[in-house]
């Protein structure tokens, strides 16, 4: 791809997203999704006044020129940008994967979405500390979970739970293996004026943490299940391409009658039909029901005038490889065998 070709793509994609910019430049969005908008070696995200460029080229030097073109383009078109970060996904050094500042000073420390403030740490990890593809799920959480008890497993920086707390959830318990991620969630609480109960932020491996919650009789009205694509610890491993059923059955006993399981699978090579079949099989006993599929925002899927190419496998009936489903849970009444106690 020539530099001129890339500039044409970036211009078209930026024009398609004009309605997403806010006057104070506090929003977060994907400016260019090269995987589906014409240049899979390049992705560009906006976090407030900070541009994050992801170089996905392998070997990574191939994407350096493209990243520099994107850097120059967005700084010219968005003159209010204060910082530009480059994350090199296939870099040889961890600091390159976490990101280097190409332009400006320290990056933004928070963004605003639907009126809620989310703390971010754009240089902490290979990811940018706030998943933009689950924006609509956060909106749902803010609108539907008032007075509810919520469990956010694989919480990362806690954004789904923060949204629930902002929407008036009675209690939100966040769990993650990494304490520094949960500390970002605590900062989001502070930004929004929410009180912090350290018992609601639990560091530990998913498998024993969930087992302890079950033994304690804990019960929640909503569980967010957003695991990484692959992970392995001495307590257990998971691969989202094959383990969705096991993960869902692990948390089902923690969900109250009438509650909701928000199940997310971002395995790129798992088709939407395969994932849907897994969910339908889980629903066959009548104690789970697929209530709705939550779409990924347009800035992730591309727009009709910007979309090019296709995903490695079809995500349909979902609109993106990040496949989000809300499942309604029913439980047998007391005195009957509880079919939700699966492993």
Q: What is the pLDDT of residues 317-342, one digit of tens each?
A: 999 999 999 999 999 765 433 334 44
If you average pLDDT over residues 176-182, what whole number do you get? 96
Give one DSSP letter per residue of 171-222, joined into a string.
EEEEEES-HHHHHHHHHHHHHHT----GGGEEES-HHHHHHHHHHTT--EEE
Of 41, 44, 8, the residue nearest 300 (C-alpha): 44
Please tell me whether residue 19 adopts helix, strand or coil conformation.
helix
Q: What is the pLDDT of residues 285-295, one digit of tens each?
A: 999 999 999 99
Tokens representing 163? Answer: 């949204």
Determine the Cα–Cα distance for residues 202 and 156; give it in Å rounded to an integer.
Answer: 11
As a whole number of Å, the end-to-end CA separation of the chain is 50
Same fold, 3-108 and 128-329: no
284, pLDDT greater than 60: yes
CATH code of the domain made up of 128-329: 3.40.50.150
If you average pLDDT over residues 114-125, what whole number do you get? 97
Determine the Cα–Cα distance for residues 96 and 144; give it in Å rounded to an integer.
Answer: 40
Instruction: List Cα–Cα distances, 301 to 86, 307, 319, in angstroms.
Output: 22, 8, 7
Q: How confident is the model at residue 202 (pLDDT cuts 50, 70, 90)?
A: very high
100, pLDDT greater than 50: yes
What pLDDT is recorded for position 59? 79
CATH code of the domain made up of 3-108: 3.30.750.80
Average pLDDT, the chain: 93
What pLDDT is recorded for position 243? 83
If you average pLDDT over residues 27-56, what whole number do you get? 97
Q: What is the pLDDT of residues 3-36, one digit of tens each?
A: 899 999 999 999 999 999 999 999 999 999 999 9
Element (H, E) at 248: helix 244-251
- DSSP state for residue 296 in the 8-state scheme: P
Element (H, E) at 272: helix 272-282
Residue ranges per domain, the chain?
3-108, 128-329
| Residue owning tokens 């390049």 | 42
60, pLDDT greater than 50: yes
209, pLDDT greater than 60: yes
Instruction: List Cα–Cα distances, 201 to 84, 104, 182, 238, in angstroms.
Output: 32, 34, 7, 22
Strands of the sheet containing 42-47, edge to edge, are 28-33, 42-47, 50-55, 83-88, 100-104
């Amino acid at each position: 791809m020539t530099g001129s070709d890339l500039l044409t793509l970036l211009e078209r994609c930026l024009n398609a997203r004009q309605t997403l910019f806010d006057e104070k430049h506090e929003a977060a969005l994907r400016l260019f999704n090269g995987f589906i908008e014409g240049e899979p070696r390049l992705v560009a995200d906006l976090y407030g006044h900070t541009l994050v460029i992801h170089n996905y080229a392998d070997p990574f030097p191939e994407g350096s020129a493209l990243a520099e073109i994107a850097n120059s383009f967005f700084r010219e078109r968005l003159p209010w940008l204060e910082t530009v970060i480059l994350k090199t996904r296939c870099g040889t050094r961890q600091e390159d994967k976490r990101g280097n500042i190409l332009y400006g000073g320290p990056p933004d420390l928070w963004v605003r979405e639907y009126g809620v403030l989310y703390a971010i740490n754009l240089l902490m990890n290979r990811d940018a500390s706030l998943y933009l593809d689950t924006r609509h799920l956060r909106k749902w959480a803010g609108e539907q979970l008032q007075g509810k008890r919520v469990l956010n497993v694989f919480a990362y920086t806690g954004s789904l739970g923060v949204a629930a707390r902002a929407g008036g959830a009675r209690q939100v318990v966040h769990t993650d293996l990494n304490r520094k991620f949960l500390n970002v969630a605590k900062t989001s609480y502070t930004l929004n004026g929410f009180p912090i109960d350290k018992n609601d932020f639990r560091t530990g491996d998913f498998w024993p943490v969930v087992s302890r919650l079950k033994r304690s009789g804990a019960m929640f009205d909503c569980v967010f299940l957003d695991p990484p694509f692959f992970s392995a610890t001495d307590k257990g491993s998971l691969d989202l391409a094959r383990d969705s059923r096991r993960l869902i059955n692990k948390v089902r006993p923690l969900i109250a009658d009438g509650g909701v399981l928000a199940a997310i699978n971002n395995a790129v090579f798992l088709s939407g039909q395969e994932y849907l079949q897994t969910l339908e099989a889980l629903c066959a006993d009548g104690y789970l029901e697929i209530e709705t599929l939550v779409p990924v925002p347009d800035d992730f899927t591309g727009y009709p005038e910007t979309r090019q190419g296709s995903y490695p496998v079809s995500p349909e009936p979902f609109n993106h490889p990040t496949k989000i489903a809300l499942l309604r849970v029913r439980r047998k009444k007391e005195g009957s065998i509880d079919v939700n106690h699966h492993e």
